[in-house]
Amino acid sequence: MMINPTDISHLPQLIAQFLDRAGKDPYLGTSHIAVYVVILTSWFMQGKATPLKAYNQQIMKSAKIASSSTYTKLIKDLCDGGYLRFVPSFYSRLPSQIFVLLNVNPVLLG
């Protein structure tokens, strides 16, 4: 089932599905969850299917992450776990690109 990213009604189901998967993943903690939920919400609010274009500082502020090195580690862990694909921007005026990798359960979205 294809998800229309502008239809925000699917956001709670996707967050619930992520939380279920994250709860079984011993490598994820509360900071990972905060970053992922901010990214997922931003992706919906941006209204673009792929990729989310966002500045690291925006995500860090919303997820209450103060350290750039902590943010980098969290993003790396989420990428290694198959939750995201991250294409960094090395220029301060260009946003990074974040691809949300959904393992959508069609039954969940009914």
Give yes or no for residue 4 having a pLDDT over 60: no
Sheet containing 52-54: order of strands:
52-54, 96-100, 84-87
Coil, strand, or helix at residue 39? helix
**Looking at domain 8-104, which CATH architecture does it have?**
Orthogonal Bundle (1.10)
Structure confidence by residue, pLDDT tens digits, 54-64? 999 999 999 99
Query: What's the predicted TM-score (pTM) here?
Result: 0.83
Coil, strand, or helix at residue 53? strand
Between 92 and 67, whose confidence is greater?
67
Q: Which of 8-12, 64-68, 83-87, 104-108 has the lowest mean pLDDT?
A: 104-108
Structure confidence by residue, pLDDT tens digits, 27-80? 999 999 999 999 998 988 887 558 999 999 999 999 999 999 999 999 999 999
